[in-house]
Every structure is written in structure tokens, then in C-alpha cells.
């Protein structure tokens, strides 16, 4: 028994260890605390046996948080579920001091995971306990998700954001990251890139999304679709020039003078492009090429 007590104690502070020693004077409480982590799938059932013991429930929450932060994946999720369920029982005591303890426990759990770069589990806790007024952690986790995306792991960045509450700033950040992801893979996997861009546009009308979408269609040779999109965003910087370049290539490929003339009308102030378009028009209208 002493070995089990020592194993659990190392996850507790000195103050919590004193409470723990008091709790385990009840042998059933000790057996329940051990059982929670030996058989986490049945934790909710065993917590019933100590839910009326405020100190035992408090220790269950602290152990779940402390043990969980050193685990990953499904094992960590199991501890987080024990943590959440324990705090739910703790709330039932409806005591001001208990409310403060819950806030501090949750805050510590989130901060420890952020410092360990375990952003997904931190986001999950922020989402579940959003009624505690943890909005400042939302922006912090959005920032870290953006950093993760900047490092090239867009899939993980989206997972972090998906765990957070669906606040406006969370959805906007997700849309921008999806657009970045689509742009990154556009050359190697244009179909998947288009899927990311479409997903982003369903969330927010990100200014660069339609431009990137048009560029992908253009690279695929779908000039008609690219032209349609470019026309809707003509007011964006440099889009007219891109549209002119598209019409120039498309017009020459299809031997369509009207497209080349439209391209010419868009670049009247660009002598270099204007000369190139007129050269192609002359080539198509030359008797030798008819």
C-alpha cells in the first residue's frame, strides 16, 4: 500500500499530499483513487463512491491533472475525462471556496499544457470550462496554432483550433490557416488544395482565398473557371494583370482574338505586356497563320 501511496503522491504538491494522507485513512477512498487510473474506462462508476467526500474528489481531480500532463494521445484523454468528471462532482458542493479551487485547478492545468506545447489538450480544457471566464487563453492558443502553421504543420494547427470554442476569432484564424495550407500544397496536390480553400471560404471570406483558388484553376488549365473567379476580384491589387496574362495565354491557345483584345484592354498602361499581346494578335491575324 505504501508503494501505491508514494506513486500517487509524487503528482501532488506538499499541501495536496497532506490532504491525500487524510483521504486515504478511508481504505475505500484509496482503492477508488487507485482504480481510477488502473481502469480509467470505468472511472465514472468508481467516482460515485467518493463523490460525497470533497477532499477525495479534489485529490482525484489533482491526480488526473498531474498524471495526464505526462501522457499523450488516448491515455491523456482518459485522464482529462477523469479530471472533468471529478470537477463536475466538486461543483456539486456549491461552495465559494470550492469554486475558487476549481478555477485555480483548471487554470493550472491549461497553463501547464501550454508550457509543454500540448496545445490540443489545453484547447480541449478551455472549451469544456469556457464558463469560467478563460477567454484570454483562447487568443493565446490561437497564437500558438498560428505558430504551428508557420512551422508547416497546418493539420495540427487546425486540430488545435477545432478543440477551441467556436468564437469569431477562432473561426477566422482557422479560415486563414486553411488558405495557407491550400496554397502550400497547390503545386503537389491541386485538388486537395482546392478542397482546403473551399472549406476556408465556407467559414470566412478570406481576401486571398479566391485569388489562390483562381491561380490553382489556371495551373490546371481550367481557364474558364479561373477567369470567372478573377472577374469577381478585379479590384484586388495586381488581379487585372493576372487576368490579362490568363486571357493572353487562353486566347492564343484557342486562337480567340476577342480574348486577346480583352487582355489588351486591361494593360493599356503596361507597355511590355501590351507589346506582347499585340504581337500575339498580329501572329493570329497574319495571313500566313490563318
* Mean pLDDT on 135-147: 97
Q: Is residue 158 part of a domain?
A: no
> CB under 8 Å to 181, separation ≥6 — which residues?
149, 154, 155, 158, 193, 196
pLDDT top residue among 96 and 43: 43
Q: State which of 69, 93, 117 marks the end of a domain.
A: 93
Q: State which of 93, 124, 153 marks the end of a domain.
A: 93
What are the φ/ψ torsions at residue 198 (nearest 5 degrees)?
Answer: -60, -40
pLDDT, one tens digit per residue, over 102-135 is 999 999 999 999 999 999 999 999 999 999 999 9
**Whether the predicted pLDDT of 13 surpasses 70:** yes
| Closest alpha carbon to 86 in 129, 121, 127 | 129
The segment with the largest mean pLDDT, out of 153-167, 223-237, 259-273, is: 153-167
Q: Is residue 204 part of a domain?
A: no
CA distances from 4 to 48, 57, 114, 197 (A): 21, 18, 29, 53
pLDDT band at residue 211, thresholds of 50, 70 and 90? Answer: very high
pTM of the model: 0.87
Q: Is residue 116 part of a domain?
A: no
* Boundaries of domain holding 287: 237-290
* Mean pLDDT on 162-190: 97
pLDDT band at residue 1, thresholds of 50, 70 and 90? Answer: low
- pLDDT, position 289: 58
What is the DSSP track for 216-250?
A: HHHHTT-HHHHHHHHHHTTTSTTHHHHHHHHHHHH
Asked if 83 contacts 64 with a C-beta cutoff of 8 angstroms, the reply is yes
User: Over the chain, what is the mean pLDDT?
Assistant: 94
**Whether the predicted pLDDT of 234 surpasses 90:** no
- pLDDT, position 290: 55
The total of structural domains in the chain comes to: 2
**Where does the chain have alpha helices with state H?**
2-9, 14-23, 27-38, 43-47, 54-68, 73-91, 96-115, 119-128, 135-150, 154-163, 168-185, 190-203, 207-219, 223-232, 239-254, 257-266, 271-285
Q: Is residue 209 part of a domain?
A: no
| Closest alpha carbon to 212 in 241, 188, 181 | 181
- What percent of the chain is predicted at pLDDT more than 90? 87
| SS3 per-residue string spanning 251-279 | HHHHCCHHHHHHHHHHCCCCHHHHHHHHH
Q: Is residue 160 part of a domain?
A: no
- pLDDT, position 93: 87
Q: State which of 67, 93, 119 marks the end of a domain.
A: 93
pLDDT band at residue 3, thresholds of 50, 70 and 90? Answer: confident
pLDDT band at residue 48, thresholds of 50, 70 and 90? Answer: very high
Q: Is residue 99 part of a domain?
A: no
Q: Is residue 70 part of a domain?
A: yes
Q: Is residue 207 part of a domain?
A: no
Q: Describe the chain by its helix, strand, coil percentages, rounded to 5.
A: 80, 0, 20
Amino acid at each position: 500500500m505504501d508503494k501505491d501511496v508514494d506513486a500517487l503522491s509524487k503528482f501532488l504538491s506538499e499541501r495536496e499530499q497532506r490532504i491525500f494522507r487524510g483521504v486515504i485513512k478511508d481504505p475505500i477512498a484509496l482503492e477508488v483513487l487507485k482504480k481510477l487510473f488502473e481502469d480509467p474506462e470505468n472511472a465514472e462508476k468508481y467516482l460515485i463512491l467518493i463523490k460525497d467526500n470533497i477532499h477525495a474528489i479534489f485529490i482525484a481531480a489533482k491526480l488526473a491533472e498531474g498524471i495526464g500532463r505526462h501522457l499523450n494521445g488516448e491515455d491523456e484523454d482518459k485522464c482529462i475525462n477523469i479530471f472533468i468528471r471529478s470537477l463536475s462532482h466538486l461543483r456539486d458542493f456549491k461552495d465559494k471556496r470550492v469554486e475558487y479551487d476549481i478555477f485555480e485547478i483548471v487554470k493550472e492545468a491549461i497553463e501547464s499544457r501550454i508550457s509543454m506545447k500540448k496545445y490540443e489538450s489545453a484547447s480541449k480544457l478551455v472549451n469544456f470550462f469556457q464558463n469560467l471566464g478563460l477567454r484570454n487563453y483562447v487568443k493565446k492558443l490561437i497564437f500558438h496554432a498560428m505558430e504551428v502553421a508557420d512551422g508547416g504543420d497546418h493539420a495540427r494547427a487546425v486540430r488545435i483550433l477545432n478543440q477551441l470554442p467556436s468564437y469569431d476569432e477562432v473561426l477566422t484564424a482557422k479560415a486563414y490557416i486553411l488558405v495557407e495550407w491550400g496554397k502550400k500544397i497547390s503545386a503537389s496536390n491541386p485538388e486537395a488544395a482546392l478542397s482546403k480553400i473551399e472549406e476556408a471560404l465556407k467559414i470566412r471570406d478570406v481576401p486571398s482565398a479566391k485569388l489562390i483558388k483562381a491561380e490553382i484553376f489556371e495551373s490546371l488549365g481550367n481557364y474558364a473557371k479561373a477567369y470567372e473567379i478573377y472577374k469577381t476580384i478585379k479590384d484586388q491589387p495586381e488581379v487585372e494583370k493576372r487576368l490579362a496574362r490568363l486571357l493572353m495565354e487562353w486566347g492564343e491557345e484557342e486562337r480567340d482574338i476577342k480574348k486577346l483584345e480583352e487582355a489588351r484592354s486591361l494593360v493599356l498602361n503596361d507597355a511590355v505586356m501590351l507589346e506582347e499581346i499585340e504581337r500575339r494578335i498580329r501572329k493570329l491575324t497574319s495571313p500566313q497563320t490563318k
